[in-house]
Structure 1
Amino acid sequence: MIRIGMLTPSSNTCLEPVTYRLLDGARDLASAHFARVPVTRIALDGGSDAQFAAEPMLAAARQLADARVDVIAWNGTSGSWLGVDHDRQLAAAITAETGVPATTSTLALLDACAAYGVTRLGLAVPYTSDVAERIVTTYAAEGLDCALAEPFGVSDNEAFARIPETDVARQIEQAAADAHAVAVVCTNVYGAGAAAGLETTLGIPVFDSVTATLWKALDLAGAHPALDGHGDLLRSGSLRAGFQRVLTELRTAIGADRTTLRLDLPGHGLHVDLTAGEALGPGVRSIRRDAGLDQRRLNTVEWLERHRIPLVQPHFRDDPRPPQALIDVYGVRAQLLAPVVRDTDMTGWISAHSLAEREWSATGRAAMAAAIADVHHLLDTYGKAHAA
């Protein structure tokens, strides 16, 4: 069984019971263990900032390491206003001190956004307006355009847990307008239950900080989380993150401008008309959320379905022709497609796009074959329990 060590703000009364609830039904998978560090107030001043100094965190981390935990997480969102580098340095220091992999709530939220390709993020926070605006600035530096719901205006950390869950739900709904996802940024707010319930209504992921921290800790410890009943991140986030990694590595290896993966995997909320992942070169337009085409009826996809081998197109002068929108709207001039065949079904395919005509070398085709193998491995690891 995996042991998760969590550094907890001393005045937090939410994250421990919520974490236990999230792990209920997966007790053979992992156990959670907590050490507290003094945190009572959230503000933009030296006194508040001092609560998040490294040494108290490291002292608590050393205590957790005595329990031989497999991962240590700072279960607090202070990096969201102190700066992401603060948390990166903290995680590195914890690992250097204890030899245990480490993460934080802020790093987990950013990793969740990366896994789902989020660039427009709604924020639901309990803090004062100046702290909330600092979070917007911090996340903007990480490539996230944030829409901020009206903050609750609270600075007493213990009081965050007294905010009714119904109020948190309304704040999430307010933050969701025109967003790819919503993040509840605070680990002492009861957002996990509301987040999981609202995903279906809103049609977008909702990343609660407590849930995201547990997800990333499990993933970092190698637990392959695929837990039902608590929202998409715990069910499918690690699978999606794996897809992103495969596509990013493929794009670099093959020299493509864009790589995408499309899959029919209903148990993970995936269907081929929207991509399961996408990696982009600098300045290349995203195709991730364009659902304007019936993908299964495209000439190129029907060709893949018939032949079940890679389709190599150094140009588009020969059949099968791709959709004209791919050329006119997205500027694609060459592509390499490879099917993902599970048992007897073509579950999906990987696409590599070039904005200029080009030959696809044997090395590039080998990289595509390796990427397909990696997708199969991910589906075997994470996807079987939820396949159709």
Structure 2
Amino acid sequence: MTSHTPPRLGMLTPSSNTALEPETYALLHGTNAATAHFARVPVTRIALDGDSDAQFDPGPMLAAARQLADAKVDVIAWNGTSGSWLGVERDRALAAAITAGTGIPATTSTLALLDACAAYGVTRLGLALPYTRDVCERIVDTYAKEGITCSLAEPFGEDDNEAFARIPAAHVARQAEQAAENDTHAVAVLCTNVHGASEAERLEQALRIPVLDSVTVTLWKALDLAGAAPRLTGHGDLLRSGSLRALIQDTLTGLLAATGADRTTFRVDLPELGLHVDLTAGEALRPGVRPIRRDASLDQRNLNTVVWLEQHRKPLIQPHFHVDPHPPQALVDVYGVQAQMLAPVETGGAMTGWISVHSMAERDWTPTDTAALDDAVARIRTAL
């Protein structure tokens, strides 16, 4: 692929699906971000029985993937959500088989949704679904095994795949609104043959949480795997900032492992991407540690430790909190932090944000710990 050629995205498409192609073209229109190329595999009915399950045999999908490989696509995605009721391991095995057979990175709509949930720290997900209730309940069980608790709007109760696309977008939007409960972190419009992509931006403004439409999610992950790291506007937060959030999350997870700390976070002011320091842009936790991700109760820029970072523009290494600058008392009393490392992240001469590394016990941070922090700062600064 030459530098001026947009990546080619190969999409394996259910044969009776009429929504995902026009929705994908609409999301890409006017962006030059990528071109999308489709191959169909026979799928007409969604149910919990052997005939329905047989539609998702990997054989026809691998044959279609090889045809897409003839077009020298840069990524191949199964643009269907069958893994959400047949089991995520089915999709992981399918993606691995596609890559083994073609040498091309691969994903699926279900794997992409799980990656989006990881990027946003979603563990409570509202579901808007067209399927029959037994399929919907199986989907809830599948996501529970992945650590995601789901609330379910009343499903449309359809089993004819072609009929899903006939559900008006306004009805899909109302269902998504019903799926958003008080403690829901995000809502997923989970099916690639319903018209949810065009509603995501408006719904997010109303619900104030991410709306993860399956067509959009699959496109996002395909672009990400192709190295495009999309920052597309007008279609919801995932296409605008999801790839940056995913990189931040991956960096924080690596930093947590490298330091053996209890929590790592990153805060940043990027208003054009909807990111503000009073809420974290990412957080990684050891099991059992209380999350801080959605606590916006503190004025972060005016904290003693952050003022110190702004003045000194170097890492603040605190094996304990016996001397200045003291952290906010809530960090100790509510979240149990007894030691921390903080490091500024600068762009264009300004301190855009900072990384925090928390320990629930006093500890002497080692040169290995501080080196890992420096590496994380460099990776995030490059991404910004």
- TM bracket (short chain): over 0.9
Residue 17 in structure 1 maps to residue 22 in structure 2: yes
Match for residue 136 of structure 1 among 119, 131, 140: 140
Aligned partner of 1:49 in structure 2 is: 53
**Structure 1 segment 1-388 matched on structure 2, within 5 A:** 1-27=6-32, 29-178=33-182, 179-379=184-384
How many residue pairs match? The answer is 378
Q: Deviation at 1:293?
A: 0.6
SS in 1 for 2:97: helix
Q: Report the AA paired with residue 97 of structure 1.
A: G
2-side partners of 1:343 and 1:155: how far apart? 54
Q: Deviation at 1:196?
A: 2.0
1-side partners of 2:73 and 2:115: how far apart? 22
1-side partners of 2:174 and 2:297: how far apart? 31
Q: Deviation at 1:270?
A: 0.6
1-side partners of 2:349 and 2:382: how far apart? 17
Q: Report the AA paired with residue 10 of structure 2.
A: G
Aligned partner of 1:382 in structure 2 is: none
Q: Deviation at 1:102?
A: 0.5
Q: Deviation at 1:41?
A: 0.3
TM-score scaled by length of structure 2? 0.98
Q: Report the AA paired with residue 175 of structure 2.
A: Q
SS in 2 for 1:293: coil
Q: Report the AA paired with residue 202 of structure 1.
A: L
Q: Deviation at 1:305?
A: 1.0
Q: Report the AA paired with residue 39 of structure 1.
A: V
Cα shift readout 1:50-88 (whole Å, capped 9, x = no counterpart): 000010101111111111111000000000000000000
1-side partners of 2:199 and 2:131: how far apart? 18
Q: Deviation at 1:344?
A: 2.4
Unpaired runs of at least 5, structure 1: 380-388
1-side partners of 2:348 and 2:78: how far apart? 42
2-side partners of 1:284 and 1:103: how far apart? 31
Cα shift readout 1:128-173 (whole Å, capped 9, x = no counterpart): 0000000000000001011011100000000000001111010010
Q: Deviation at 1:343?
A: 2.0
Give the root-mean-square deviation of aligned CA atoms.
0.7
Q: Report the AA paired with residue 323 of structure 1.
A: P
1-side partners of 2:351 and 2:166: how far apart? 50
2-side partners of 1:361 and 1:95: how far apart? 40
Aligned partner of 1:383 in structure 2 is: none
SS in 1 for 2:351: strand
TM-score scaled by length of structure 1? 0.97
Deviates more, 1:303-312 or 1:136-145: 303-312
